[in-house]
Structure 1
Amino acid sequence: MRRLLTSLTIARGEPLVWGRRTYVMGIINVTPDSFSGDGLAGDLDAIVRRAVEFQGAGADFIDVGAESTRPGHQSLAADEELERLLPALTALAGKVEIPISVDTYKATVARRALEAGASMINDVWGLKADPYIARIAAESGAPLVLMHNQENTQYQDLLPDIFRSLSHSKQAALDAGVPEENIILDPGIGFGKTAEHNLEVLRRLDEFKSLGSPLLVGTSRKSTIGRVLDLPADQRLEGTAATVALAIAGGADIVRVHDVPEMVRVCRMSDAVVRGWRPDGWTK
């Protein structure tokens, strides 16, 4: 798949072309209760520093979220989410060149975030929580990530069930006027799935290409890695690296990660093998 996402350019004006290499999305949580322990709630200087560091390390996007999505989290009212999010987006304005994605499932929050400088929407409920997000994306021209999620871990047939759900989300976005080239799908590893489900999704990731959209995959520091390796979130770097490499082999176009410098290196090495990517100045 060599399609151009014309609505976004990444740092240095580089166009975003799917299939050429894997793009890296760095996670910035402006929450006090992030599962990974990296929340930066209220510390605007630290938020800017991390974003600048991510860009310098090779991130192509920054994903800013103000509501934790860890298991058992308390949902925030839109006003409270905006109180956390808008100061962070304002602080980032003019500090980084790479696109900023807003991690939210509320249309009100998405609209305000785009007005404050975000240029992409990452909806972890795939329009199930607030379908109007699709209209916001259509009107603004912002790319829209639609993730598979559900409130339980019950499936009749895992991948066909996920495919049906993602296809429904994608069609809802298209019906709302979102251009197909602006839609990105996420299989939702770690959301509404057991550890066994997550491993199967990763193992069969290449099958998701049948849905016809670029894939974003987020495995970074997830509990499945902790289950397999018996390690806490802050010791899952190697496990994350393994899942990122496997995701790229399975066709992931974007990987969403906490540890940007290390995962950029994992991506480039994986891309060299899987996609034929070569660094500038490479000679055979």
Structure 2
Amino acid sequence: MTTSAPATAAPFYTPPLLHPVHRFGTRTIDFSRQVALMAIINRTPDSFYDAGATFALDAAVAASLAAVDDGADWLDIGGVPFAPGPALSAGEEADRVVPVVAAVAAASDVIISVDTFLPEVAARSIAAGATVINDTTGLSNPELASVVAESGAHLVITHSLASPRTAYPHPHYKDVVAEVAAFLARKVELAMSLGVPAEKIMVDPGHDLNKNTLHTLEITRRFNEIAALGFPTLAAVSNKDFIGETLDQAKGERLEGSLAAAVVCILGGARILRMHNVAAAKSAINMTEAVLGWRAPAYLKHNMGDVNYPAPSTSSASW
């Protein structure tokens, strides 16, 4: 029996990563052979999925550490929803996220990102222990990139078209995947011109962000075209409306659809998954990594000895 890991099977897309190895504080992720699991912690009273369940500081910290225990490599902490709504000042947003970052950084070496588009919030979060800024507005404020560059943190650049916290009705694209890829390429160039090194940049096509369900299904199906940009690519598919509309399911019923979409994205080159249901997502990632030849099974017993395992049943049931 060979002990070396097989090469990735031909039908699965292997993105041409410019810098596969990223170092986040004490943690290192090799995106050529690993998918990072990003758990979602929303310190908001009106979050998309949990409707404020982790708005209280102690609840947010407890949920963060529970996610680490369930296998999260990464925590994404947010203080303002993406959805349209009233603006929150930088001071108010920082007061929500910074205490969570500080508490988690003191208790764990997990990767911590903060979901913000405000430079002041980014600076305070990085000072508290965050090593990544996750900007879901696609550098709507370029000063954010300058803050990240000066700090040495990493940056996730996400495709979206609306101004922050504003509606974007009836989005239209001639070719959604090509346009998203071109947008991200432009924003990467902007970030690099402002001092963010290529080895600290990640991209996200923004499932559902200013896109309808057909757009998002197209991005999921052609995820390889986004990953082909050469930067570790994030798929934020968890419990989103494209899953609900595709399967006619409410938010609490979308786990299986979320996992299916996540695995499709991995096979298309995604290397970071942003997920709510951490334990289930971790199992899906580990299984996919094993199929790809990147992870050994936890143990081997089945058909490995002189007697088949498990032993045949002595009952009269037929199989």
Shorter-chain TM-score tier = over 0.9
Q: Which amino acid aligns with 2:113?
A: S
Pairing 1:31–2:44 present:
yes
Contact preservation (8 Å) 1:146, 1:185: yes
TM-score by length of 1: 0.92
Return the offset for 1:16. Answer: 1.1
Does 2:83 correspond to 1:66?
A: no
Aligned CA distance change for structure 1 residues 276 and 282 (closer, same or farther; 3 Å): farther
Tell me if the contact between 2:181 and 2:225 (Cα under 8 Å) persists in the aligned partners: no
How far has the Cα of 1:23 moved from its partner?
0.7
Partner of 1:5: 22
1:132 aligns with 2:143: yes
1:207 aligns with 2:225: yes
The share of aligned pairs that are identical, in percent, is 36
Pick from 59, 74, 99: which aligns with 2:111? 99
Partner secondary structure for residue 59 of structure 1: coil
1:248 to 266, 269, 277: 266
TM-score by structure 2 length? 0.82
In the alignment, which residue of structure 2 is the partner of 1:231?
249
Letter in 2 for 1:120: V
Q: How far 1:74 moved relative to its partner?
A: 2.9
Aligned length: 278
Unaligned runs of 5+ in 2: 1-16, 163-167, 305-319
Partners of 1:114 and 1:124 lie apart in 2 by 17
- Taking the aligned partners of 1:142 and 1:8, their CA distance within structure 2 comes to 9
Q: Structure 1 residues 86 and 196 mapped into 2: Cα distance closer, same or farther (>3 Å)?
A: same
Segments of structure 1 that go 5 or more residues without pairing to the other structure are none
Report which stretch shifted further, 47-56 or 21-30: 47-56
Q: Secondary structure at the match of 1:145?
A: strand
Tell me which moved more, 180-189 or 111-120: 111-120
Structure number with bigger Rg: 2
Q: Answer whether contact 2:24 2:111 (CA < 8 A) is retained.
A: no
TM superposition shift of 1:137: 1.2
Between 1:188-197 and 1:78-87, the stretch displaced more is 78-87
User: What pairs up with 1:147-166 in 2 under 5 angstroms?
Assistant: 147-151=158-162, 152=168, 153-166=171-184
Root-mean-square deviation (CA), in Å?
Answer: 1.8
2:135 matches 1:123: yes
Distance across 2 between alignment mates of 1:133 and 1:124: 12
